[in-house]
Amino acid sequence: MNLFQRFLKQIIFVYLLAWFIGSLWMMAVFGSGTVQGKLLGINVSQFHDYACFGFAGALGGALYGLRMFHEHYHELTPQWTYWYFMRPVLCFGSAIITIILFASGILLLQVDNSMSARISIAFLTGYGYGKFMEKLKALTTTFFNGTGNGNGNGNGNGNGGDTPKS
């Protein structure tokens, strides 16, 4: 293992650990209610819950990333490097969207409407990000392509192709 790869592995480990600890810390900060007013032009009190959901998702993503880093330590490639750096960020956003989809009724799951239940779902979304994306893809395929009449593909012309017929 060359010096650059060893240094990169240390950076990845510290990065994932920072997301893990930082997410726990930020959930505690938002949960305590000490952050008030505006932060970067955003009214914190309005988006307090969503920030908690995002950090719960990032926590799950960072935990999964740390687990994969441990299991595949000797298999670091540029693709995996990108994966490690993007995982907590993608999980942060996905967790928020998951809670919004549940709240809207598009995704159905029988859980308590408590904050702890929603944070748990957000965490699981982050931890199981790959499975979540598979379900989201299936949902969008069903939702936009339809399965009822068989003559539409979601492009509005019903011909099954990506471009309109001439």
- Given a contact cutoff of 8 angstroms between Cβ atoms, the answer to whether 87 and 129 are in contact is yes
- 121: confidence class by pLDDT, cuts 50, 70, 90: very high
pLDDT exceeds cutoff 80 at 66: yes
The Cα 74–Cα 148 span in angstroms is 48
Name the CA radius of gyration of the chain, rounded.
Answer: 20
Q: Which residue has the higher pLDDT, 102 or 157?
A: 102
The Cα 163–Cα 86 span in angstroms is 33
The Cα 85–Cα 76 span in angstroms is 12
Q: Which amino acid is at 74?
A: H
Mean pLDDT of 127-155: 75
Burial of 2 (0-12, 13-18, 19+ CB in 10 A): exposed
- 147: confidence class by pLDDT, cuts 50, 70, 90: low
pLDDT exceeds cutoff 90 at 56: yes
97 — alpha (psi -120 to 50), left (phi > 0) or beta? alpha
Length of the chain measured in residues? 166
Residue 42: enclosing H or E segment and its boundaries?
strand 42-43
Highest-confidence range of 53-67, 68-82, 94-108, by mean pLDDT? 53-67
Q: Which residues contact 162 (CB under 8 A, 6 or more apart)?
A: 155
For residue range 33-51, list pLDDT tens digits in order: 777 777 778 777 778 888 8
pLDDT exceeds cutoff 90 at 29: no
CA nearest 80: which of 3, 19, 13, 128? 13
pLDDT exceeds cutoff 80 at 118: yes
